[in-house]
Amino acid sequence: MDSPFGLLAELTYRCPLACPYCSNPLNLAGYQDELTTGEWLRVLTEAEDLGVLQCHLSGGEPLLRRDVVELVAHAHDLGLYTNLITSALGFSRPRAEQLRAAGLDHVQISIQADEPTVSDRIAGTPSFHRKIEAMRVVKELGWPLTMNVVLHRHNIDRLADVLALAEEVGADRVELANTQYYGWAWRNRDALLPSRAQLEAAEAVVRTAGERLRDHMDIIYVIPDYYSRYPKPCMGGWASRQLTVTPNGDVLPCPAAQSLPLPRASVREDPLARIWAEAPVMTAFRGTDWMPEPCRSCPRREVDFGGCRCQAFLLTGDAARTDPVCYLSPDHDLVARAVEAANADSRPSDLPLIPRPHQLHAPGRHPGRAGRTASGAE
């Protein structure tokens, strides 16, 4: 594609949760100087000019931005389809009604498990009941609702009950996404990676539920990379369909790419169209010319595009290597050893999780409106 289809607008990395699988950067200090309202309005306009059709408002927790309603209204006026990706903490009925009036099209709410004790333990804060109430508000106000559940060793055995909860709240779509190992999830990989037996049981549950609910609810199940024979394409191909703008204005081809040793590109310095077309962070792995063997001569090179650059970098230290998930990769043993450890009889059953620190406030600027500084939090 010559232009991106979707924009992930990461409005802030501040978040009331402390999920141990969070993929946001480990070093949050570099993202405290958040874009002002005026800067975000310009980014949205430039995105629409570039050809973007969908705008996903995310974080952290996007509801911690005071200007989120104004941003939704502007995106709606531009003709963009808007999706709020939220923990639902801060999603009060008055706020929801403001977002509805502003033209918000869709709401995606994350939940950590089907039961309060487990969900709150994983989230690091009491949140389960507020999430359920927010889902009810979403349905009462007539929005389509996606329920997102990140799966891992500590909740994947509860999948049947998770799907029952999705039915109960009237979710139109359920995303069951096995953990991607970036950020805090990378630090917690050994504790989060499920066993093969857990995955086989989960896949059976998904198949059964998919057949039963196919006329009522879409179920999207994303298997973990580490158990795949081939890697997934990075966002449909590096910088081909999607782009991400981080809270401080950096532009990336995917949410995890800030970890890569590539020159930064910022909307504070260049127009979005120029960044998309020319910035090294966008062009470095676009297409197939950059590929090493075995990708270069592989018939799948335009199917999976060599896999995930961020995963290759984390595992090998070289972003240009074939994704080690691929069984053809010369580094595949790095993944095979992790899978072997996850399935070993000697593996401790209670490996501790390192929670992501809570971050609701930070000492940097958090503009809530153009031209003046505010805390950004409700």
What is the distance between the alpha carbons of residues 240 and 305, in angstroms, rounded to a whole number?
11
Return the structure tokens found at 281. Answer: 């962070």
- Per-residue pLDDT tens digits of the chain, which is 378 residues long: 588 999 999 999 999 999 999 988 888 777 889 999 999 999 999 999 999 999 999 999 999 999 999 999 999 999 999 999 999 999 999 999 999 999 999 999 999 999 999 999 999 999 999 999 999 999 999 999 999 999 999 999 999 999 999 999 999 999 999 999 988 999 999 999 999 999 999 999 999 999 999 999 999 998 889 999 999 888 888 999 999 999 999 999 999 998 899 999 999 999 999 999 999 999 999 999 999 999 999 999 999 999 999 999 999 999 999 999 999 999 999 999 999 999 999 998 778 888 887 776 643 444 443 333 232 332
* Residue given tokens 């946001």 in the structure block: 24
- Looking at residue 361, its pLDDT comes to 60
What is the distance between the alpha carbons of residues 312 and 314, in angstroms, rounded to a whole number?
6
- Looking at residue 192, its pLDDT comes to 96
- Given a contact cutoff of 8 angstroms between Cβ atoms, the answer to whether 253 and 281 are in contact is yes
Among 325, 323, 294, 290, CA closest to 308:
323
| Residue list for the binding site | 15, 19, 22
What is the distance between the alpha carbons of residues 333 and 330, in angstroms, rounded to a whole number?
8
Q: Is the dihedral of CA 255, 234, 78, 98 positive or negative?
A: negative
| Residue list for the binding site for [4Fe-4S] cluster | 15, 19, 22
